[in-house]
Structure 1
Amino acid sequence: MINTYQTSLAPPPVPPRLSRSQPILIPAPLPSKGHSKPLIRFLVGVLVVHLFLSLAAALYLYLRHQKEDSVRSEEKGLTSSRTSSLLSEKRGKSTKASAHMVIVNKRTRPNRSSGYLEWDIKASVRKHINYYETSWLTILRPGQYYVYSSVTFSKGDPVRPLVSRVQLRKDKDGQATVAMQASCYLKSGNSSTPNMCTATQGGLITLVEGNQLSVWVDNLSLVDYLNTATTFGMYNVEDS
C-alpha cells in the first residue's frame, strides 16, 4: 500500500514561541540643555584664564624690555660722560698756554749797550701766547705761570756784573718792573781760553690778560747769540 502523505518538500518553519521576548532597539535620548551649561562655563573660564595669562606675559615682557633699554641708556650715558670727561681733561691739558723762545742768531753783536733781547719768532714755539715787537710776550689767558730765562754771556764786564732781568708790565703802555733777576760771574780780560757763564732763573708769577714780559740785559754786546744758549719761556700751571 502506497503512502501518499510523504513528500520531498521541507517541513514549514516552526513559529516562534510567544513566551520568549525579543529585544527592541530604541534610540538614546539627547542630553538635556541643563547638562551642557557647566561644560560651556568651563570652556569660557579656560579661555578667560588663557587670555589673562597672555596679557600678563605680554606686560611682563614689555616692562622687562623697557627696563633693559633704560639700563642700556644709563650705561651709555655714563660711558659718554666718562668719555667726554676724559676728552675734556685731555683737551684741557693740551690747550694750556706755553711759550719757549730762542734768541735771534746774530753774527754781529749789537752796538747798543743795554736793552731787551730779541727772539726768533719763527724758530720759537708759542701756544695761546702772543708776541709784541719781537721782544715781549703777551698773556692771553690769565693764571699762574712758571716763567724762566737762561742768558749766556761770552764776555765779561769790568765795571758791571752780568745780570739778566725778567721785566713785567701791565700792558704795552705800562711801566716795566723787575719780576725776576739773575746774575753770573765771568772774569774779564783777554784770554786764550774763551770764558762763558749763564744766568739762569725761574719762578711762579700770577699773570692776567694783557700782561707782557721780556728779558733785559745791561750790555747786549756781551750776550752769546747762539739760539741754544739763550732762551726765554713760560707755561701755565693753573688756570684761574
Structure 2
Amino acid sequence: MINTYHSSLAPPPVPPRQTGSHQVLIPAPYPSKGHSKTLVRFLVGVALLHLFLSVGGFIYLYLRDEKETSATFTEGKPEGKAAARSAAPSQEALAHLVVDNETAKKSISGYLQWDFNHSNLTHINPFLKSWLTILKPGNYQVYSRVTFTNGDTKGHRTIPLTSRVKLKMSMTGEEKVVMTAYCHLDMHRGPETIPGMCTATQGEFIRLEKGNQLSVWVQDLSLVDYDKEATTFGMYKLP
C-alpha cells in the first residue's frame, strides 16, 4: 500500500557539530577567604584614618580660632586688677571737649566754641562749633568746668560770673537751662583790685534722647581762661 499522508511540519534542526575551534567557557575561581579579609581590613583602615584626620583637623581649627579671638580681645588691654579698673565700656557714648582759644574772637552769642580736632568723641556728633548732638539715648553724666580770669582789667565786679549748660530737644528746638554754676572773680587786697581767677564747676545726671543737643553758655566770653585744662565740657553715657 502506498502512503499518501504528507505532514506540513518541518523536520527538527540538526545540532551543530563540535569542532576543535569551539571555545568552552570555564568559570573563574572565587577569591579565597584570606584575600577577602585583607581587602576588608584595608578599607576599614582607610575609613578610620579619614575619620581621625577629620576630627583632628576640626580640633585644630577650633583651638586656633579660640586663640585668635582671645588675643584680639586682650590686645592692648591691662591684665588683672588694672583691667577691672579700666572696665568702662569703650563703645559707650562719650565726649571730652577742648576749648577753642579763639572763641572770644569768633563768637558773640556767649556760647563757648570747641576744638573738635583735638577733642574725644564717641557716638556723639559735633554740631556747628558749640553744640553736641546725642546719637544714643540713655542716662548721661554731664560735666562742665569754666575758669574765669580778669587778667589786667581794672574795676570791681560785684556780681558773680555765670556758666550754664543748655539743652535743645532737637536742632531747631527751644533752648532750656539744665545746669548753672557761679563764681566770684575779683580778689581785694586793701583799696586795690588784683588779678584773680575763679572756676564754675558743675555736674549732673541727665536723661538724653537721640537728637538732643547740649552746649555751654557763659556770661562774658572775654573773661574765660582758654587753657585746655582750665575750661572743659563733656559727658559719658552710663551703662
Scaled by the length of structure 1, what TM-score is found?
Answer: 0.62
For structure 2, the 5+ residue unaligned runs are 1-28, 78-87, 151-155
Distance 1:123 1:66, change over 3 A: closer
**RMSD, matched Cα:** 3.8
1:130 has 2:125 as partner: yes
Q: Structure 2 CA distance, aligned partners of 1:71 and 1:232? A: 52
Q: Secondary structure at the match of 1:115?
A: coil
Shift of 1:211: 0.9
Count residues in correspondence. Answer: 193
Q: Structure 2 CA distance, aligned partners of 1:63 and 1:109? A: 77
Q: Structure 1 CA distance, aligned partners of 2:116 and 2:197? A: 25
1:52 has 2:40 as partner: yes
1:147 has 2:142 as partner: yes
Q: Secondary structure at the match of 2:194?
A: coil
Shift of 1:165: 1.5
Alignment of 1:108-187 (within 5 A): 115-155=110-150, 157-159=157-159, 161-187=160-186
Q: Deviations over 1:182-215 (max 9, x none)?
A: 2233346674532111111223333222111011
Alignment of 1:83-122 (within 5 A): 95-106=91-102, 115-122=110-117
Distance 1:84 1:105, change over 3 A: closer
Q: In structure 2, what residue type is equivalent to 1:54? A: F
Moved more, 48-57 or 119-128: 119-128
Distance 1:220 1:95, change over 3 A: same
1:61 has 2:49 as partner: yes
Distance 1:64 1:166, change over 3 A: same
In structure 2, the partner of 1:233 is: 234
Q: Structure 2 CA distance, aligned partners of 1:228 and 1:95? A: 25
For structure 1, the 5+ residue unaligned runs are 1-39
Q: Structure 2 CA distance, aligned partners of 1:110 and 1:120? A: 13
Q: Structure 1 CA distance, aligned partners of 2:199 and 2:107? A: 21
Q: Structure 2 CA distance, aligned partners of 1:96 and 1:110? A: 32
Distance 1:59 1:84, change over 3 A: same
Among the aligned pairs, what percent are the same residue? Answer: 40
Q: In structure 2, what residue type is equivalent to 1:157? A: R
Moved more, 49-58 or 100-109: 100-109
Scaled by the length of structure 2, what TM-score is found?
Answer: 0.62
Q: Structure 1 CA distance, aligned partners of 2:50 and 2:128? A: 71
Q: In structure 1, what residue type is equivalent to 2:157? A: D
Distance 1:187 1:93, change over 3 A: same
